[in-house]
């Protein structure tokens, strides 16, 4: 597919230039970083509006020794694929390694903390499998290769299972692939193709986990907090609890110009005038909208009413002007987009000991362990210990997710959506075969379940025009960002959010630098095939 335009305009930044950034996730924070370091915008002229009381978006984490710890999960990274992210983090000083950037700190950490999963899959009956054979037939391989070179326009709005025969979804290849990237058979075929193009160069290391690197602590501690600290040090104005609901566009003509920002804070509506020479960078849509937590004894609520308003801005502006995408495609299909997870705070090493003895994986050694026969399509992540910067030695964090939360469990005969923390953990521990250890693990753990109705919405089948470009046609001062923007990159990746921010800032602010090309060695370098073919043929 043709990449999003990054054509630069004449230098647009003056001492009076104000930037209004909507959203405090990775897209918004990155836009502010690029504006300061590459476009010369004064941090004092950058105003970041965030509807929640914290930054971080889907990377958010929280907790302290006297409270429980919580994070939604950890994003992993591939070194050659995440060029825009590394560019942003190269400007941010590390919190823990003096003289290093966050990028350098992450690279150094992974030189000494190698992945090498010993039990990648756990089949029914607690049978371990390191997926040494991917189980692809010649027909499967032909379909995979054909998909890699099929233009998006020819496969738009199609499900993955429209391309592959049913036996493909029984292979170890699919079981490893879908769990690693959280892609399901009903998801978008073109998006799945993009993931294959981006990551097949490291297919031989995908099972072991060596293809990916991690942050020293959870993503929020390791990336978000240093980014926010750096931006505040440059004078960026963070306005928390401000929900942006609409834009007024300049009337007449073919240009797209934001004149006014409508928002709500403390229950009061207000408008922000956007002067000539100012710019707006807006995150649209939300993976974490209407997220709800449950307890050990209560299931989290499934909110269907879009009550937190995270989709409101996109819905309103898309009605006003053509070319701004179709939010309805992504926010009205909760049965396909919902995902559930748990974050476990163990106060005894019972689970860690049983996990390491059974799988052979030390904490952090495997990116995840997947139960391919789970009705919930569940996976478990046991990260490096500690997972939070201020986490005590005697608190043990592990996480798990379910990609089919409306199905009944194999052992707990209830849909995941109706299960509390104890019931979800009980189901997972039975998949491991930890029946003997189960009572102690439950007794000594605080288990937090969370329902996220839109967590997988970016993977839903779509037409190409359902996602607007990072710089809409005719835009003079509006850039769009996040997982529902067409940047040429795979959605769900942190790289996608950062890339959309970089495209907008570089294009609209006239930055004389090129956005790095989207990585796709598998379609451009024949040597990659020589490297991965033994794995594909296994």
Report how far apart, in Å, the C-alpha atoms of 43 and of each of 19, 227, 274, 535 are: 9, 13, 17, 49
Q: What top-level class would CATH report for the domain 338-452?
A: alpha beta
Single pTM value for the model: 0.95
What are the b/e assignments for 427-445, b being 16+ CB within 10 Å? bbbbbbbbeebbeebbeeb
The rounded distance, in Å, linking the Cα atoms of 224 and 229 is 9
**Max Cα-Cα span within the chain:** 71
CATH topology for the 19-57+78-106+217-333+468-508 domain: FAD/NAD(P)-binding domain (3.50.50)
Query: Which pLDDT score is estimated for 206?
Result: 81
Q: Find residue 101's DSSP bridge partners.
A: 93
What's the pLDDT score for residue 336?
Answer: 97
- DSSP codes joined into one string, 122-183: EETTTEEE--SS----HHHHHHHHHHHTS-HHHHTT-BGGGTS-GGGGGSHHHHHHHHHHT-
The pLDDT, as a whole number, for residue 8 is 42
Residue 205's pLDDT is: 87
Between the two ends of the chain, the Cα-to-Cα distance in Å is: 31
In tens digits, what is the pLDDT along the chain, a chain of 538 residues? Answer: 444 444 444 457 899 999 999 999 999 999 999 999 999 999 999 999 999 999 999 999 999 999 999 998 889 999 999 999 999 999 999 999 999 999 999 999 999 998 888 899 999 999 999 988 999 999 999 999 999 999 999 999 999 999 999 999 999 999 998 889 999 999 999 999 999 999 999 888 888 888 899 999 999 999 999 999 999 999 999 999 999 999 999 998 889 999 999 999 999 999 999 999 999 999 999 999 999 999 999 999 999 999 888 999 999 999 999 999 999 999 999 999 999 999 999 999 999 999 999 999 999 998 899 999 999 999 999 999 999 999 999 999 999 999 999 999 999 999 999 999 999 999 999 999 999 999 999 999 999 999 999 999 999 999 999 999 999 999 999 999 999 999 999 999 999 999 999 999 999 999 999 999 999 999 888 898 898 898 888 8
Q: Give the start-to-end residue ranges of the domains of the chain.
A: 19-57+78-106+217-333+468-508, 135-210+521-536, 338-452
Put residue 393 in one of left, alpha, beta given phi > 0 → left and psi -120 to 50 → alpha. alpha
- Which helix or strand (DSSP H or E) is residue 500 part of? helix 494-508
CA 329 to chain centre: 19
Other CB atoms within 10 Å distance of the CB of residue 20: 25
Q: What's the confidence (pLDDT) of residue 254? A: 87
Q: What are phi and psi of 517, to 5 degrees?
A: -65, 150
Closest CA to 329 of 313, 317, 311, 341: 311
CA distances from 112 to 82, 106, 216, 298 (A): 20, 10, 11, 41
User: For the chain, what's the residue count?
Assistant: 538
Per-residue pLDDT reduced to its tens digit, 450-505: 999 999 999 999 999 999 999 999 999 999 999 999 999 999 999 999 999 999 99
Closest alpha carbon to 193 in 157, 160, 153 = 160
**What is the per-residue pLDDT for 295?**
98
Residue 74 is predicted with a pLDDT of 85
pLDDT value of residue 129 = 93
């Amino acid at each position: 597919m043709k990449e999003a335009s990054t054509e630069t305009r004449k230098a647009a930044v003056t001492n009076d230039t104000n930037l209004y950034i909507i959203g405090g996730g990775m897209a918004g924070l990155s836009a502010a970083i690029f504006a300061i370091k590459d476009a010369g915008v004064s941090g004092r002229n950058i105003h970041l509006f965030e509807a929640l009381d914290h930054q971080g978006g889907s990377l958010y984490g929280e907790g302290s020794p006297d409270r429980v710890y919580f994070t939604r999960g950890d994003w992993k990274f591939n070194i050659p694929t995440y060029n825009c992210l590394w560019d942003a983090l190269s400007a941010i000083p590390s919190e823990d390694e003096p003289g290093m950037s966050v990028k350098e700190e992450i690279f150094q950490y992974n030189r000494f903390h190698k992945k090498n999963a010993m039990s990648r899959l756990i089949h029914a009956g607690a049978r371990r499998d390191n997926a040494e054979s991917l189980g692809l037939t010649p027909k499967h391989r032909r379909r995979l290769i054909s998909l890699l070179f099929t233009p998006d326009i020819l496969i738009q709005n199609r499900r993955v299972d429209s391309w592959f025969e049913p036996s493909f979804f029984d292979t170890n290849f699919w079981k490893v692939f879908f769990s690693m990237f959280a892609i399901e058979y009903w998801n978008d075929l073109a998006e799945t193709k993009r993931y294959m193009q981006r990551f097949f160069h490291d297919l031989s290391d995908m099972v072991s986990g060596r293809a990916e690197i991690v942050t020293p602590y959870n993503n929020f501690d390791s990336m978000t907090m240093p980014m926010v600290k750096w931006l505040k040090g440059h004078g960026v104005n963070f306005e928390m609890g401000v929900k942006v609901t609409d834009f007024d566009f300049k009337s007449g003509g073919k240009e797209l110009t934001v004149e006014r920002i409508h928002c709500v804070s403390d229950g009061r509506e207000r408008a922000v005038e956007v002067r000539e020479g100012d710019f707006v960078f807006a995150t649209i849509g939300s993976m974490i909208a209407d997220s709800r937590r449950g307890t050990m004894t209560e299931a989290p609520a499934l909110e269907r009413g879009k009550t937190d308003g995270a989709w409101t801005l996109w819905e309103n502006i898309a009605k006003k002007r053509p070319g701004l995408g179709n939010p309805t495609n992504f926010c009205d299909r909760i049965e396909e987009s919902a995902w559930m997870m748990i974050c476990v705070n163990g106060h005894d090493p019972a689970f860690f000991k049983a996990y390491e003895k059974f799988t052979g994986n030390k904490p952090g050694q495997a990116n995840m362990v997947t139960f391919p026969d789970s009705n919930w399509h569940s996976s478990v992540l046991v990260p490096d210990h500690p997972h939070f910067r201020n986490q005590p030695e005697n608190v043990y964090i592990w996480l798990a997710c379910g990609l089919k939360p409306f199905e009944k469990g194999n052992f707990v005969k209830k849909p995941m959506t109706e299960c509390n923390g104890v019931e979800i953990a009980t189901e997972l521990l039975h998949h491991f075969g930890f029946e003997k250890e189960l009572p102690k693990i439950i007794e000594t753990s605080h288990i937090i379940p969370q329902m996220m109705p839109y967590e997988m919405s970016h993977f839903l089948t779509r037409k190409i025009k359902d996602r607007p470009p990072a710089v809409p046609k005719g835009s003079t001062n509006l850039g769009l960002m996040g997982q529902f923007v067409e940047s040429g990159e795979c959605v769900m990746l942190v790289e996608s959010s950062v890339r959309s921010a970089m495209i907008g800032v570089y294009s609209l602010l006239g930055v004389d630098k090129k956005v790095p090309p989207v990585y796709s060695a598998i379609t451009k370098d024949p040597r990659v095939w020589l490297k991965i073919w033994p794995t594909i043929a296994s």
